[in-house]
Amino acid sequence: MPVGDKKVPDVVIRRLPLYLRSLESIDPAEYPIVSSEALAKMVGTSSGQVRKDLSYFGVFGKQGVGYQIVLLKGELRRILKLDQEIRIGLIGAGNLGAALVRYHQKNRVHQPLEIVALFDTDEKKIGRKIADVEIHPVECLQEKIQELKIKVMILTFPGEDAQQIVDICVENGVKSFLSFVPVPIKIPAGVKVQTADVTLELQSLAYYT
């Protein structure tokens, strides 16, 4: 992600929500300022890393004083575009997809990230709802993406036709994907795919057992 003339590493972007979550756990009326050291301990990194990460986006604190919590929360929301509604779709309303929708809807208090449509190929599921979100046929992807202004898509279906489906999403304005699909996906510049492969994660954890 570029900021001005600087390219921000993905690992930095992925730490920003951790900083925001930590700040939201603090009552600013009681503790209006937080130090980089205290924030680092909450996230599990170093104070130097906190300062370096935030420096990509500007100067938000004072040396020897710290960061004003309300100000920094607002800036992090702006940087992550969480100061506006982000509409999300999900393709694959099976067990995993249903669980993700229910979890998100239950825990989205004060979040602008909203799952607005589900898609599936199973005719028996079409028209039903999961956590008040309607399931549409995959054939309606183009229409619904444009109608509902979907910018993020979660992929929780088997790998068949994955590239074709992603291409349709990209052509209609989807900019980001969270993929649980077990196949590689090609995307153009300016589009982001973040892959969550439970099997690979478990295999890597097996090393530590």
The sign one gets for the Cα dihedral 152, 154, 157, 163 is positive
Residue 59: predicted pLDDT: 78
Single out the residue of 76, 75, 79, 91 nearest to residue 162, CA to CA.
Answer: 91
Single out the residue of 93, 91, 89 nearest to residue 130, CA to CA.
Answer: 93
3-state secondary structure of 97: helix
The DSSP 8-state label assigned to residue 176 in this structure reads E
Q: Please, which contacts does 181-189 make with residues 24 or more away whose CB atoms are closer than 8 Å? A: 181/155, 181/156, 181/157, 182/158, 183/159
Q: Please, which contacts does 105-111 make with residues 24 or more away whose CB atoms are closer than 8 Å? A: 105/131, 105/132, 105/133, 106/131, 111/82
What domains does the chain contain, in order, with CATH numbers? 2-79 (1.10.10.10), 86-201 (3.40.50.720)
pLDDT (tens digit per residue) in 98-107: 999 999 988 7
Please, what is the average pLDDT of the chain?
92
Exposure string of 157-186, with b = 16+ CB inside 10 Å and e = fewer, is beeeebeebbeebbeeebebbbbbbeeebe
Q: What's the gap between Cα 109 and its chain centre?
A: 15
Q: Give the pLDDT band of residue 1 (cuts 50, 70, 90).
A: low
End-to-end CA distance of the chain: 36
Check pLDDT > 90 for residue 64. no
CB atoms within 10 A of CB 112: 14
Check pLDDT > 70 for residue 2. no
Note the pTM of the prediction, 2 decimals.
Answer: 0.87
Q: What is the total residue count of the chain?
A: 209
pLDDT (tens digit per residue) in 128-183: 999 999 999 999 999 999 999 999 999 999 888 999 999 999 999 999 999 999 88
Tokens at residue 105, please?
């809807």
pLDDT (tens digit per residue) in 26-37: 999 999 999 999
- Burial grade of 28 (CB within 10 A; 0-12, 13-18, 19 or more): middle
Tokens at residue 34, please?
């937080």
Residue 191: predicted pLDDT: 95
Give the DSSP H/E element, type plus range, for residue 114: strand 113-120
